Amino acid sequence: MQHLDIILAMNHISKSFPGVKALDDVSFHVRRGTVHALMGENGAGKSTLMKCLFGIYSLDEGEILFDGKPVHFHNPEDALKAGISMIHQELQPIPYRDINENLWVGRYPTKKILGLFSIIDHKTMTKRSEELLKRVSLNLDPSTLLKELSVSQIQSIEIAKAISYEAKIIIMDEPTSSLTQAEVSHLFEIIHALKNLGVSIIYISHKMEEILKISDEVTIMRDGKYIGTWLSRELTMEKIIRNMVGRELVNLYPPKNNVPSTVSFEVKDLTSTNPKSFKNVSFSVRKGEILGIGGLVGAQRTELVEGIFGLRSVAHGEILLHGKKISIHQPRDAVKHGIALVTEDRRGNGIFGVLSVRDNVAVASLDDFVEFHLILNNKKLNQLAEANIKKLSIKTPSTKTKIQSLSGGNQQKVIISRWLAVDPDIFILDEPTRGIDVGAKYEIYSIMLDLAKQGKTIIMISSEMSELLGVSDRIIVMCEGRLSGILDRGDADQEKIMALATAYM
């Protein structure tokens, strides 16, 4: 069974958390110098398996052989030193650190002065940093603060760090979820270069096209169990879905049967106070309509909806609700007018990590939390939470589980269900299915359609072309802060959206 070719063998791994068996007798073998994709629905156990490998969690059962030898990592430092690096699903950079510190913290190059004291050798450190940055094609000064960098650049720095540890395995947990297309290509180039050096990449993603393109092998997990490993070229999307979901999934989108009626929500000439952000944006949406907002990452779509919602300052422009001008200075105003925003950034402003699933379902803001507790008694809260958990098939051991221990996709469903409880008229969803598996996506689209059929208005930002085309009645496209075009469902296709998304570039 042991093969020279195999750099990593995880055998019969089991791991339980209170109320869940996250991993149940999982085996996972990775070959040297290959890209091995790890796939499965939300909550299947992918991140947990990788955290076991990286020394974040201890195993309940099983063994890990790295380069043919049994290893027991007690913490990530052990794993790093042995040659395993992990780029996390949710990057957590320290904003006021510079690139140098980020790369070398805990192992600064030093020099002796007067033959006595050791001090940090800044010159050597900077030189080494520059070499590393070159390896990942980043043209940056190592003294740049992390807060100045884009997600993609921070990720490249994490990869540079992995290279500096001479990593033999680099784990990438959903590395492309917030990258532009150009950044994804950049990442893929780096991955190819690493492969040629004999490094193995474990690649977790829900994007099937990407997986089929970049990976050599694919392992699929379901409900904490190992399902199988295939060569990528033997796989098709249908086959992947069938193995992930455990049944045939005929349609990726529910049938469109909503009928838009009268205009409910309008934005006129909305312009940010920030000259680099959105400007002169005008559009209207109807009751019962799903309006998609397309564009590339960085087109200022999130900024626009945050401007609408009172999270960002607006220089001029109008917002009309059912034909009447309304003023929104803070999110509370928006909520009062029946407008909901499901944010893209789950960790930043989406979830209250330490609260339970139940309370997260019930609150739309911390203020409401108090009010909700006054209005709804515990029994009602529990009923509400349980109904939503069932409706959205949220995978959680109980309603009392803290939301931060749920898998990424399940956290997203909790946030959506929270707004369902508030019952707004205008739903603004920012990348609602980011990091969500195919089955759960279908459920979220169905919810959106149901809401539209009830006469609600839905505005959905999405960077996935197929999703925009699959669920929207109309699509507005933004480029560099401006609205570059509006397409009707019937006329829209990928080429047209792409052309508009790059119209002013």
Residues making contact with Mg ion (CB under 5 A): 47
**Residues 385-404 interacting with ligand ATP (rule: CB under 6 A):** 395
Binding mask 349-378 for ligand ATP (x = CB under 6 A): ------------------------------
- Side chain identity, residue 337: H
Shortest reach from residue 224's CB to ligand ATP, in Å:
7
User: Least separation, in Å, of the C-beta of 431 and ligand ATP?
Assistant: 15
For residues 477 and 300, the answer to whether their CB atoms sit within 8 Å is: no
CB of 393 closer than 8 Å to CB of 440: yes
Which of residues 405, 422, 486, 503 is near ligand ATP by CB under 6 A? 405
DSSP-assigned beta bridge partners for residue 26: 13
Instruction: For residue 444, state whether it binds ligand ATP (rule: CB under 6 A).
Output: no
Which residues pair with residue 118 across a beta bridge? 112
Question: What one-letter code names the amino acid at 421?
Answer: A
Which residue of 9, 35, 47, 244 would you call a contact of ligand ATP, by CB under 6 A? Answer: 47
Taking CB under 6 A as the rule, does residue 45 contact ligand ATP? Answer: yes
Collapsed DSSP state (helix, strand, coil) of residue 54: coil
Nearest to 459 by CA among 289, 279, 205: 289
SS3 assignment, position 238 = helix
User: Using CB under 6 A, which of 8, 10, 13, 20 touches ligand ATP?
Assistant: 20
Decide if 463 contacts 477 (C-beta within 8 A). Answer: no
- Which one of 187, 299, 406, 476 is in contact with ligand ATP (CB under 6 A)? 406
Angle, CA of 63, 65 and 70, to the nearest 5° = 75
227: left (phi > 0), else alpha (psi -120 to 50), else beta? alpha
- Quote the tokens at residue 142: 């190592």
**Which of ligand ATP, Mg ion, none is residue 337 near (CB under 5 to 8 Å by kind)?**
none
Please give the Cα distance from 265 to 322 (Å, whole number). 6
| 220: helix, strand or coil | strand
258 binds ligand ATP per the rule CB under 6 A: no
Q: How many residues bind ligand ATP (CB under 6 A)?
A: 17
Interface residue with ligand ATP, options 8, 9, 13, 22 (CB under 6 A)? 22
Q: Is 432 in the site for ligand ATP (CB under 6 A)?
A: no
CB of 289 to ligand ATP, least distance (A): 30
Name the segment binding ligand ATP (CB under 6 A); options: 180-188, 336-344, 368-376, 406-414: 406-414
| Residues in touch with ligand ATP (CB under 6 A) | 17, 20, 22, 40, 42-48, 395, 405-409
